[in-house]
Amino acid sequence: MNNLKRLSTIFLFSLFLVACSGGSPAEGEPNSKDEGATGGEFQHMGVSELETYLTANQGKPTLMFFWTTWCPSCKQEIPEMEALAKSHGDSVNVIAVSLDEKVEALETFFEKRKIDLPVYIGDEELARQFGIEAIPTLVMFDKSGKQVFAKPGVFPHAMLKSMAEELAGK
């Protein structure tokens, strides 16, 4: 019952975040972090690649963030995901999956900004599998690779931290 209350609270808060998400004040500005930047060649993340990834990473939960370079709310969520990876990367995997239609959009984005997360290029099949209708969307997998959460919205670091700790069993 306690887990049901916790999940209900997370769901309601997620709806609130979706309703309130908007543009980032620092939209389009380069990230001040220079270390661990992602850019250059991007690996494809389709359904089979995700299955391979989750199998290879069993025993460690994964948070997968769907985004695009043109989405203001996605740009707002990127620092939150980076903070989570920095604070909890030892206990959870944090990956970003771009749904941009052209790799050139990612290349242009990374000329101006660096992200301290692994970035993959997703496809329509992967987006369809998770019912992605809005971005950003967060999808979470438990230690066995089973999907346990999928909601659109901007999630603050404190909430991501709480969800990551629950998934990791901390």
The predicted-structure confidence for 96-126, as pLDDT tens digits, reads as follows 999 999 999 999 999 988 888 999 999 999 9
Q: How confident is the model at residue 85 (pLDDT cuts 50, 70, 90)?
A: very high
- C-alpha angle 93-122-90 in degrees, rounded to nearest 5: 5
Residue 16 scores a pLDDT above 60? no
Instruction: Domain 39-168: give its CATH architecture.
Output: 3-Layer(aba) Sandwich (3.40)
Please give the pLDDT value at position 41.
Answer: 75
pTM over 0.85, yes/no: no
User: Rounded CA gap, 121 and 86, in Å?
Assistant: 22
Question: Hey, where are the domains in the chain?
Answer: 39-168
Which tokens in the block code for residue 147?
């999907």
Query: Which helix or strand (DSSP H or E) is residue 115 part of?
Result: none
